[in-house]
Amino acid sequence: MAIADVSTQVRTVSHWIGGKLVASESGRSGTVWNPATGQAQAKVGFASATEVDQAVEIAKQAFVEWRASALSRRAEVMFKLRELVDANRRRIAEMLTAEHGKTVPDAMGEVARGLENIEFACGIPNLLKGGFSEQASRGIDVYQIRQPLGVVVGITPFNFPAMVPMWMFANAIACGNTFILKPSEKDPSVSLYMAELLKKAGVPDGVFNVVQGDKVAVDRFLEHPDVKAISFVGSTPVARSIYQTGTRNGKRVQALGGAKNHMLVLPDADLGMAADAAVSAAYGSAGERCMAISVVVAVGGVADPLIAAIRERMTKIKVGPGMEEGNEMGPLITREHRDRVASYVANAASEGATVAVDGRQDPAFKRDGFFLGTSLLDHVEPDMRCYRDEIFGPVLSVVRADTYDRALRIINENPYGNGVAIFTRDGGAARQFQFDVDAGMVGVNVPIPVPVSYYSFGGWKASLFGDLHIYGPEGVQFYTRTKVVTSRWPDPGTSKVDLGFPQVR
Ligand code: NAD
């Protein structure tokens, strides 16, 4: 059966190494579920350390030629890839829906936001331009060039199985590196389809590889001497540990972690607009987005009318299989995760919160798939578990704050600092918030401020470990290292011995 066939029969998902499918021989595997039915739909073979070593060796060999390829050739490949992904948006989206569960329109959005990164990488000749200083000293020029690192690895989460890999591999490959993707074992198939598209676009064998697996594969990447850099996106505990181990082993690491994204609503905000934004950003993709709004901080007397407006909108959301037209929210990724999310709603009242809407009452909760309706928790306080933990599901908490200062303190004391939004009609208040807030991405009347691909994406605090944000200009920085050349072409007749330290003359 073709690897891109997402039919309901159980198939086996392989690696992609050296331009072809390679079955895992480790004897270890995981189940890929269909979250909309609760049935197993595939097995994914998990790489052994030896299989990781084989992939790294192939990527290392491919690096020799690829780093020497012309910039215009790499740009041409990216242009072709852009056309192929564009032409197959729907196909990719349906693959995402089949394994992740998100609705097809939501999956189309994921593809579009990933595609932006390939478009950015089409400009690689311009992005890799260095600097040149003529006559830094008499007859001496100094210039800086950017060179690729070698074999680089991307480890990605389940919630954006197409977009997050595109955040990484577009720039990594365009910069002249060879790339190994270790996708989430929960929805691994789309990575193989992307590999086919990369091959069709003209990416030479061995430049893009996919190694399926779990911690065993990741641990081997972390210690392999030929892996020069690791981009990781996933939960905070894993991000922290990958950053610590990877950097200890001398690798360049950027590790993006989890989030608790706040939406601050000031009393002057347009409440209808704020409610639309809160509902869209909290429940889109069943809350399984690292930029989902999970907390509304309502300032002053805004809470009651805002909650009423949110409730009115929530009750209209259609929950059901993502493949069926008209459904707005699909299932969660696994039964275990759905039950964990539901447990926060079940325990909220005992913590002192008010369960304003209970997602377990939604008829979809009783279906065979991993569904849960939308939940709204009111009177949430910062010391409650439902506030402290990243729930990563369709649960929105409302924290009430008397003043802007109290609201800001709550947000800044939260350990995460990924995205944050303010809703107000007061430009001065918004500007002050942008100045004050400890978060990497700020939305002003924008609930999900994911930067466009020519900026870079990244949170602060426990939402990112490392120095550089992902994709955009910082992505290019991450995947290259600079070299500074000092050069002169003097008349040999003027040459003499001089033991003094070189200085500008
Ligand atoms: P996860 O941390 O469980 O898994 C991420 C990747 O790490 C997967 O490829 C997985 O196989 C691997 N992994 C898991 N446990 C590991 C371990 N112990 N050692 C080594 N590797 C391990 O995350 P997830 O559940 O797939 O994704 C959801 C999480 O990702 C949420 O916390 C979400 O906020 C976060 N996320 C963050 C961003 C961001 O940009 N900051 C984007 C998307 C998702």
By most ligand atoms within 8 Å of CB, the mutation choice from 233, 240, 245, 337 for ligand 1 is: 233
Same domain, 265 and 143: no
Whether the full predicted model's pTM is greater than 0.85, yes or no, is yes
Inter-residue contact 174 to 74 (CB < 8 Å) = yes
User: In this model, does residue 450 exceed pLDDT 60?
Assistant: yes
Tell the residue nearest (CA) to atom 22 of ligand 1: 215
CA of 388 to the centre of ligand 1 (A): 18
Same domain, 248 and 320: no
- Total domains in the chain come to 2
What percent of the chain has a predicted confidence (pLDDT) above 70?
A: 98
pLDDT digits 0-9 by tens, 237-267:
999 999 999 999 999 999 999 999 999 999 9
Same domain, 266 and 162: no
pLDDT digits 0-9 by tens, 408-440:
999 999 999 999 999 999 999 999 999 999 999
In-domain check, residue 129: yes
By most ligand atoms within 8 Å of CB, the mutation choice from 33, 158, 227, 235 for ligand 1 is: 235
CA of 41 to the centre of ligand 1 (A): 22
In-domain check, residue 492: no
pLDDT digits 0-9 by tens, 305-318:
999 999 999 999 99
Give the confidence band of 503 by pLDDT, cuts at 50, 70, 90: confident
Phi/psi at 225 (nearest 5 deg)? -65, -25
Same domain, 285 and 392: yes
Which of ligand 1's atoms lies nearest the C-alpha of 155?
A: 9
Same domain, 265 and 253: no
User: In this model, does residue 3 exceed pLDDT 80?
Assistant: no
Same domain, 244 and 271: no
Same domain, 313 and 226: no
Same domain, 221 and 294: no
In-domain check, residue 273: yes
Lowest mean pLDDT among 24-28, 141-145, 330-334, 490-494: 490-494
Q: Could you write out the DSSP letters of every residue in 385-447?
A: HHHHS---SSEEEEEEESSHHHHHHHHHHSSEESEEEEE-S-HHHHHHHHHH---SEEEES-S
Supply the CATH number for residue 171's domain: 3.40.605.10
338 DSSP 8-state letter = H
Tell the residue nearest (CA) to atom 26 of ligand 1: 157
pLDDT digits 0-9 by tens, 169-213:
999 999 999 999 999 999 999 999 999 999 999 999 999 999 999
Which of ligand 1's atoms lies nearest the C-alpha of 182?
A: 9
pLDDT digits 0-9 by tens, 47-83:
999 999 999 999 999 999 999 999 999 999 999 999 9
Same domain, 186 and 212: yes
Give the confidence band of 504 by pLDDT, cuts at 50, 70, 90: confident
Q: Domain residues for 52?
A: 11-257+463-484
In-domain check, residue 44: yes
Q: Average pLDDT in the 102-127 region?
A: 98
Check residue 62 and give its pLDDT: 99
Inter-residue contact 165 to 118 (CB < 8 Å) = no
Tell the residue nearest (CA) to atom 21 of ligand 1: 215
Same domain, 59 and 196: yes
In-domain check, residue 148: yes
3-class DSSP state of 460: strand
Supply the CATH number for residue 394's domain: 3.40.309.10
In-domain check, residue 453: no
In-domain check, residue 458: no
Same domain, 410 and 478: no
Give the confidence band of 9 by pLDDT, cuts at 50, 70, 90: low
Inter-residue contact 273 to 445 (CB < 8 Å) = yes
In-domain check, residue 5: no
> Which residues line the pocket of ligand 1, CB cutoff 6 A?
155-160, 182, 184-185, 214-215, 218, 233-235, 238, 256-259, 290, 390, 392, 418, 459, 463
Which of ligand 1's atoms lies nearest the C-alpha of 256?
A: 41
Is residue 386 part of the annotated active site? The answer reads no
Same domain, 279 and 134: no
